């Protein structure tokens, strides 16, 4: 009986450490990462710049912002069903031209994330957390 109780305690501690060991995305840090996007994008609904508004982008079908003229490669990807899920956004933020070959977006991707004190994966997760809040 004592061993069973001890194993139960280890399992509870182990699972709680596993849950807290994974770092949660930080939307406030993501707002800082968004500064890289601000030259071309806003998070204001209906306000486009050189790039479309990113208001509500997480979960949105690609090339679906009204009154924005998308590049042909982006339109083709959208017609094949591209949706900005967190996973797709993360890949796109790190290597846009790999996700949408021929894209006209000049951004090369989150490469130098050291200034955010985060890995490129963490910086992308933080940015996506910020963009999720814009819904």
- Look up the pTM and report it: 0.80
Q: Nearest 5 degrees, angle CA 23-CA 26-CA 30?
A: 135
Q: What are phi and psi of 33, to 5 degrees?
A: -65, -35
Listed in sequence order, the residues at least 6 apart from 125 whose beta carbon sits closer than 8 Å to its beta carbon are 25, 30, 90
CATH superfamily of 26-132: Cytochrome c-like domain (1.10.760.10)
Give the model's pLDDT for residue 23.
Answer: 59
- As given in the structure block, the two tokens for residue 2 are 């004592």
Give the model's pLDDT for residue 111.
Answer: 80
Low-confidence ranges of the chain (pLDDT < 50): 4-22
Listed in sequence order, the residues at least 6 apart from 108 whose beta carbon sits closer than 8 Å to its beta carbon are 96
Please write the tens of the pLDDT for every residue from 68-96.
Answer: 999 999 999 999 999 999 999 999 999 99
């Amino acid at each position: 009986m004592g061993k069973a109780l001890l194993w139960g305690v280890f399992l509870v501690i182990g699972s709680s450490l596993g849950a807290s060991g994974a770092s949660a995305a930080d939307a406030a840090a993501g707002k800082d990462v968004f500064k890289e996007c601000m030259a071309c994008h806003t998070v204001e609904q209906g306000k486009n710049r050189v790039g479309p508004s990113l208001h509500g982008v997480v979960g949105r079908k690609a090339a679906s912002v009204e009154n924005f003229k998308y590049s042909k490669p982006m339109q083709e990807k959208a017609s094949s069903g591209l949706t900005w899920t967190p996973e797709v956004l993360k890949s796109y933020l790190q290597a846009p031209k790999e996700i949408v070959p021929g894209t006209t977006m000049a951004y090369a991707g989150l490469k130098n994330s050291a200034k955010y004190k985060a890995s490129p994966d963490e910086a992308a997760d933080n940015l996506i957390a910020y963009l999720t809040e814009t819904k």
